[in-house]
Every structure is written in structure tokens, then in C-alpha cells.
Amino acid sequence: MKGKALLDGKKPVWAVGTMSGTSLDGVDAAAILTDGETVTEFGPSAYRAYSDNERGALHAALGAWQGAPGVDAAAEIVEAAHRDLLLDLPGEMIGFHGQTLAHDPGGLGTHQAGDGAALAQALGRPVVWDFRSADVAAGGQGAPLAPAFHFALAKWIGARGPIVFLNLGGVGNLTWIDPTCPGPFEPGALLAFDTGPANAPLNDLMRTRRGGEMDKDSALALQGMVDDRVLSAYLANPFFKRVPPKSLDRDDFGALQEAVSELSDANAAATLTEAAVQGVLRAMDWCPRPPGRVLVTGGGRRNPLMMSRLGASLVCPVIPVEDVGLDGDMLEAQAFAFLAIRVARGLPTSGPGTTGVDQPICGGRVSLPHQR
């Protein structure tokens, strides 16, 4: 269904957005009151962790496309987690991202597991979903999509000059913003792209070698030394020279994972942490003008080594988004609530500066309850 029919006028609406991110830790859900252009109010949020079994099944389905073995099971895990989580959260509309299993914008497309139409039926509320496919079909990267929300947040915090939002999730992505532009898709307002792997390779290392979930508080990396040979080989990847916008699949840097396999646990963790940092530093070189601040969101802002290395390497302050009154655990979920309202109003969700698509485009499908 066309989004435009769903919401007329500019009255702010409560929407709930969800994100099941590339770290595979669980599902975040957060409500915001918005007209899709400005944020009026932040609402309640909730988190549902995946169990070890669920995470294992999702992990096993990574890289799989529709119809492949394991994909239906993965989709059911994602939908069940959302049914649990969303029952108690208010919101007239849901922005459902799903779980990215595979992302190949120049080739096979992009694949988020989870059926928004089934969720709309189960929850009795309209669900906006499949946010990335239309952008990819139009020649865009299909990611990142949070930048339109980052732009609204830059206005919300009263930024007067260029700033950067840096998301350190499973994959890293940054958004450079000129908040003096009237809208997110005016030429020059945004430049956004993925920076490289962030927490995903570290999480995988901890899972396979230590049976853990993450390198909590950089405990392991702090005991190790960066392997310069592995790091240089990683940084020679042509991805870093590619002009943005550009996006990544979670496991695009498999060679890095392989290269650290010969290192000790601690040296591997130190090297993967530094690889995430170096990806961001390379990315910062693409900023059209130096930002006044880098506002960090996503779980990596809790990684003390990653944060101190970034802080020591960049000339501007690098601070968690909490320092400007935002919630770094829920920011991406909030983004998909915001994007849902944009879709419902027929507003663009991506543009040349964010996904490289030729013209701003409104992605996302709307499914109403009782209408499959």
C-alpha cells in the first residue's frame, strides 16, 4: 500500500520503531512523537535479548536470501521477539526494521528477515517495513537510513554548525550533518555511509574463542597488542578508498576475521578494536567540513578502549549521545519510528548524500492489520 494514504496533515503521531541489529544481541523498541520532520517527544522503550539458541539460529542464517534453508526459522525468531516486545508499547504505528541477513546492494539486493504484514495482523496496528529494498532497486546502497533522523536530532539539540553522529553497532556508520540546511535531503545537508566493521568481529571472536557475548569494557583487548601487519592488510581494502555513500554487509570483512585467527585472544581483540577505530578515522577524512563534535551512539560507546582511541585521534570532542540528552541504546529504534511516519506521509527516507540514490526516495512498505 502507498504510504501517503495513511497519514494526512502534519499532526505529530506516536510511533514505535524497532531495530534488530547486526550485533545480533536482541531487539530494541522505542516510541517517539513526531511528524516525521521534527521530534516532539521521546517515549518509553524496551529491549528483548535473543537467547543463545535464537542468536545461534540467526547467526547460522547470516548471508542467506529469501527461500534459503534457515531463513523462515530466523524470520519466526525475529517476529516472535517483536510480538513479545511490542504488546506493551504504545504507538499508533510501528516501524519494523527486521534482521538484516544479507546485504549486497550492487548485486543480489538486501534482505531483512521478518514479515511486517504478519506482524501487523498479530499486533492489530499498521506496520511500516522493508525500508531498504526500494532504495536498492533505485540504484542506492539501501543503507544507512538513520541519517534523516540524525538530521532531526541535530536540530533538536540546537546544533549550529556541522556535527557527526557515529553509530558503533555491529557495523559502524557515520552521518555528517550541516544543520543550517532547511531539510535533510537538500543538497549538502547530509553525507552518510558505513565506516567498517565495529563490534561484530569482536563479538564473533568472543563467541568462538571464549564462549562470551562481547569484550565487555574492553577487558580482553586492553591486555593485548595491536598486530600492525594484520591491521595494514585490513586497511589496504579498497572499501576505504571508495567515495561515499557506501555500505557494508555484516561479514564483508571475512579476511580480517581470518587474519586474526593466528593471533592470541588478547592480541586479536586489540587488533579488531583498533580496526574499528581506524575505519572511523578513515571515514572522518570524507567529511565535507570538520565537525564540531562527534556524537557516538550504539553499543561501541560503552567500549572504553574504542572511545579513548577515537578521542585521542580526532581533534574535536568525541562524546556519547547521552551528553546531549539522547539515548544511545535506543537511537536506531527511534530512527525507524521516525522513518515510519515519514513513509506514512510520503516523505523521502534516503537521498544522494545518504545512500547514493539519484534522487530522494521514499522507501518502506505499509501493511495494515487484517489486510495481507
Work out which of 18, 247, 271, 350 binds ligand AH0, going by CB under 6 A. Answer: 247
Containing 168, the helix (H) or strand (E) segment is: strand 163-168
Residues belonging to the chain:
372
Q: Which DSSP string corresponds to 141-153?
A: -----THHHHHHH
Closest to ligand ATP by CB, 216 vs 289, is 216
Site string for ligand AH0, 106-125 (x = CB under 6 A): ----x---------------
216 sits near ligand ATP (criterion: CB under 6 A): yes
Binding site per annotation, positions:
21-28
Closest to ligand AH0 by CB, 23 vs 218, is 23
331 sits near ligand AH0 (criterion: CB under 6 A): no
62 sits near ligand AH0 (criterion: CB under 6 A): no
d(CA 171, CA 248): 8
Closest to ligand AH0 by CB, 220 vs 280, is 280
203 sits near ligand ATP (criterion: CB under 6 A): yes
d(CA 112, CA 136): 13
Closest to ligand ATP by CB, 166 vs 366, is 166
89 binds, among ligand ATP, ligand AH0, none (CB under 5 to 8 A by kind): none
Beta strands in 56-126 (DSSP E): 93-104, 109-113
210 sits near ligand ATP (criterion: CB under 6 A): no
Q: Which DSSP string corresponds to 26-69?
A: EEEEEEEEE-SSSEEEEEEEEEEEPPHHHHHHHHHHTT--TTST
Q: Which residue is nearest to ligand AH0 (CB)?
A: 144
Work out which of 48, 82, 103, 125 binds ligand AH0, going by CB under 6 A. Answer: 103
CB 184 within 8 A of CB 152: yes
Binding site per annotation, positions for ATP:
21-28
Q: How far is the CB of 57 from ligand AH0 (least distance, A)?
A: 18
What grid cell was written down for 218?
A: 574492553
CB 206 within 8 A of CB 217: no
Handedness of CA 54, 56, 60, 64 (dihedral sign): positive
| Interior angle at CA 189, CA 186 and CA 195, nearest 5 | 130
Closest to ligand ATP by CB, 3 vs 173, is 173
d(CA 9, CA 321): 31
What's the chain's Rg over C-alpha atoms? 19
d(CA 270, CA 281): 16
Q: How far is the CB of 303 from ligand ATP (least distance, A)?
A: 4
Q: How far is the CB of 210 from ligand ATP (least distance, A)?
A: 13
Site string for ligand AH0, 204-223 (x = CB under 6 A): --------------------
For ligand ATP, the binding residues (CB under 6 A) are: 19, 21-23, 25, 167, 169-171, 199, 202-203, 214-217, 298-300, 302-303, 332
Residue numbers of the site for ligand AH0 (CB under 6 A)? 21-22, 100, 103, 110, 143-146, 167, 169-171, 173, 194, 247, 332
